[in-house]
Amino acid sequence: MDYRVISFHYTLTDEAGKVLDSSRSAEPFAFMTGSRQIIPGLEDQISSLEKGSRKNITVLAADAYGERDEELIIREPRDKFGEAGVRVGDRFRAGQEEEARIFTVVDVSETEVTLDGNHPLAGKNLFFDVEITDVRDATSEEIQHGHAHGEGGHAH
Ligand code: ZN
């Protein structure tokens, strides 16, 4: 396996063309190939591109954040959340270590709180407009650490 560090600008939109995220207002994002720093469906399609190339890349939900799992929508009695109360959009970590997930409150009724443990981008096909700004070999230190260093990479 050859390890390379690829830097790129991206604009991420959903099916409706709504911009979900973009690197354009900051420095390009840098990742090391084979390090699982970005979603697999994007890495597969980006790894063969050369510096300076620009491409529209579609990543289906299954190769991005996975399909939505309706079993991750759970309801809890409201009084479990105590006096301070709970609001739509609040986030909680639940579960054991590796299995831990972030649950987001999606509904609050008089008696119940509904939480969703799906990633906010689960079930969505993602559309990336990508511009490769740099491609270089990874340093031995980066290979040891398992991530890219330098501009747009991991800061220690
Ligand atoms: Zn490092």
Same-domain check for residues 20 and 94: no
CA distances from 102 to 89, 91, 94, 113 (A): 11, 6, 6, 15
142 Cα: distance to centroid of ligand 1 (angstroms): 6
Question: Ligand 1 mean position to 152 CA, how many Å?
Answer: 12
Residue type for position 36: R
- The confidence score (pLDDT) of residue 98 equals 76
24 and 44 in a single domain? The answer is yes
pTM passes above 0.75: yes
Q: What is the pLDDT of residue 85?
A: 81
Query: In terms of domains, do 112 and 126 share one?
Result: no
How far apart are the C-alpha atoms of 89 and 6, rounded to whole Å? 34
Tell me the C-alpha to C-alpha distance, in Å, between residue 129 and each of 19, 25, 30, 118, 137: 11, 14, 15, 25, 24
pLDDT of residue 58: 97
Give me 12's structure tokens. Answer: 């991420």
Output the CA 86–ligand 1 centroid distance in Å. Answer: 38
**Ligand 1 mean position, distance from CA 150 (Å):** 9
> Does residue 117 surpass a pLDDT of 70?
yes
Q: Say how many Å lie between the CA of residue 37 and the centre of ligand 1.
A: 12
Residue 118 alpha carbon to ligand 1 centre in Å: 29
CATH number of residue 53's parent domain: 3.10.50.40
Mean pLDDT of 22-40: 93
Residue 1: what pLDDT?
A: 67
Q: What is the pLDDT of residues 37-50, one digit of tens each?
A: 899 999 999 999 99
Each residue of 78-91: pLDDT tens digit?
998 887 789 999 99
Instruction: Give the distance (Å) from ligand 1 centre to CA of residue 3.
Output: 14
Cα distances from 28 to residues 2, 34, 43, 57, 109, in angstroms, run 22, 19, 15, 17, 43
Same domain, 15 and 91: no
Structural domain boundaries enclosing 14: 4-65+122-145
Host H or E run for residue 7? strand 4-13
Least confident among 35-39, 115-119, 127-131, 140-144: 35-39
Half-sphere exposure of 118 (CA within 13 A, CB side): 19
**How many degrees, rounded to 5, is the angle at CA 125 between CA 32 and CA 1?**
25
**Residue 98 included in any domain:** yes
Q: Which letter does DSSP use for residue 28 in this model? A: P
